[in-house]
Amino acid sequence: MSSENDFVKEIANKDEDWSQWYVDVIRKAELADYSPVRGCMVVRPYGFAIWEAMKEGLDRRIKETGHQNAYFPLFIPESLLQKEADHVEGFAPEVAWITKGGNEPLAEPLAVRPTSEAIICSMYSKWIQSYRDLPVLINQWANVVRWEKVTRPFLRTTEFLWQEGHTAHRTGDEAQEEVLRMLAVYQDFVENDMAIPVIPGRKTEREKFAGAHSTYSIEALMQDGKALQAGTSHNLAQHFAKVFDITYLDEDSQLKYVHQTSWGVSTRLVGALIMVHGDNRGLKIPPKLAPVQLVIVPIAPKKAREMVLAKAEELKTALRGAGIRVHLDAREEYSPGYKFNDWEMRGVPLRLEVGPRDIENNQVVLVRRDTGEKIATALPDLEAAIPQLLSAIQDNMLAIARDFMEENSFQAANLAEMEAIISTKRGFVYAWWCGSEECELEAKERMSATIRNIPLDQEAAGSKAPREAKCVRCGKEAREVAIFARAY
């Protein structure tokens, strides 16, 4: 059995070896494990419970905006995928192919779903006949496969879980409204449930989704100073509609192509949760997503064990009845100190300690994971105090993450300034950009920094950029501020 001190020593220091710290937290908190299949992970129950909480929060929001869930096949015939050249070219290196069924070669190879535009568009071309059939607002929760060369649990794996929305509309304006609506849904979820601040914006032509007219993203900043694309929303315009012949008869009796969108987030959000909030003691999970919001740890000498456990059971029942997700750790083989470390590692927002003296004083001790603060709380006040504390923890975690993002957002007037920032401080760099791909590419080639997005709120972005609106690379007049960063 590990000692209490050894428990934490088994995690690398995040300031000394960030990559190892990330893997150690996943392993010790039992979020996931490596599988025998190259590049694939096994999501363990605790990790899957976090994903289920994310899924629940997102699914509710998606349905509130009028979308319905459906499911489409995992396999896509080669002929369907090949219909859209840019789309195929964008995914070609990552597509896994099935060429054999049982012992028989397939008449046509099947792609294992890297994304579902092709298979869904083929169905929309059958289902949509009239303007009365529009809009089509469909979402699916599914797994996808992309044959990645370099993988990392949750952030980039060969197979991962996600949701992907696919919609069809009468007009381009309706499609654009949908794109921005769903980007706002993602921002609302990530900021309010995950306690992670993000910057919504438009991707450059070079960075947009293969086959899309335009792509929008929300970008988050990890504690190591790298950016992470936390969600994307794409305006597909009529591109796929023309390829797959998705037309409708409008009110004016004219046959027209639909306007489409697609949007999605994936299990990489679990990775974001770890990297934004975690510390050298493990995870910190925002209360809204925590599988266990409060863990009860009885502190009971043998002679008082029965009395303390009875009180702990009573508290568990009462708090569950009040809607709190509670776990009672009654394991006899571990000391209270070991349990403290264990549940801190798992990121449980609140710990409740109860012992003989607490019972005698008609109180318990609550300990916050985010601050470590210990709060003696009278038993009659407990049911009211805990929801208030959970709310305070949720707000504090967002505030800390927002402060970190602000403290690690910089401005650069030229590439030399940007390179100095990227190579030492990292973080977000706000800079004016003329819009040329040549200027965008030089930043990428020189310092591995990409334009994460062009913020939708250009007024706010402009206040963080150099006063003179000159392109960071060529010095020509620029109209937009872009965010540059190294990224996952």
Q: Which of 215, 44, 191 is nearest to 115 (CA)?
A: 215
Cβ atoms 12, 24 nearer than 8 A: yes
Tokens standing for residue 104: 């028989």
163 and 264 in a single domain? The answer is yes
356 and 471 in a single domain? The answer is no
Q: Is residue 404 in some structural domain?
A: no
Tokens standing for residue 214: 């335009």
CATH number at residue 446: 3.30.110.30
Q: Is residue 44 in some structural domain?
A: yes
Range of the domain at 373: 294-388
55 and 92 in a single domain? The answer is yes
176 and 313 in a single domain? The answer is no
Q: What is the pLDDT of residues 78-100, one digit of tens each?
A: 999 988 877 778 788 899 999 99
In angstroms, the CA 98 to CA 109 distance is 6
In angstroms, the CA 417 to CA 438 distance is 18
139 and 189 in a single domain? The answer is yes
Region 237-254: what's the mean pLDDT? 97
384 and 418 in a single domain? The answer is no
Is the predicted pLDDT of residue 177 greater than 90, yes or no?
yes
299 and 420 in a single domain? The answer is no
Q: What is the pLDDT of residues 95-116, one digit of tens each?
A: 999 999 999 999 999 999 999 9
CATH number at residue 28: 3.30.930.10
Neighbour tally for 1: CB within 10 Å: 7
Is the predicted pLDDT of residue 379 greater than 50, yes or no?
yes
In angstroms, the CA 28 to CA 7 distance is 9
In angstroms, the CA 151 to CA 318 distance is 44
Q: Is residue 401 in some structural domain?
A: no
Q: Are strands 68-69 and 136-145 parallel, antiparallel or unpaired?
A: parallel
Query: At which of 247, 277, 307 does a domain end?
Result: 277
Q: What is the pTM of this model?
A: 0.95
Q: What is the pLDDT of residues 309-360, one digit of tens each?
A: 999 999 999 999 999 999 999 999 999 999 999 999 999 999 999 999 999 9
pLDDT for position 8:
52
pLDDT for position 352:
98
238 and 332 in a single domain? The answer is no
pLDDT for position 2:
41
Cβ atoms 37, 151 nearer than 8 A: no
Is the predicted pLDDT of residue 3 greater than 50, yes or no?
no
Tokens standing for residue 440: 């965008």
Cβ atoms 54, 269 nearer than 8 A: yes
365 and 422 in a single domain? The answer is no
167 and 271 in a single domain? The answer is yes
What string of DSSP letters covers 19-88? HHHHHHHHHHTTSEEE-SSTT-EEEPHHHHHHHHHHHHHHHHHHHHTT-EE----SEEEHHHHTTSHHHH
Q: Is residue 394 in some structural domain?
A: no
**Alpha-carbon radius of gyration of the chain:** 25
Is the predicted pLDDT of residue 1 greater than 80, yes or no?
no
In angstroms, the CA 347 to CA 370 distance is 9
Q: What is the pLDDT of residues 205-233, one digit of tens each?
A: 999 998 999 999 999 999 999 999 999 99
313 and 440 in a single domain? The answer is no
Per-residue confidence at 245, pLDDT binned at 50, 70, 90?
very high
Per cent of the chain over pLDDT 90 is 94
pLDDT for position 88:
74
- The number of folded domains in the chain is 3
273 and 340 in a single domain? The answer is no
CATH number at residue 315: 3.40.50.800
Q: Is residue 285 in some structural domain?
A: no
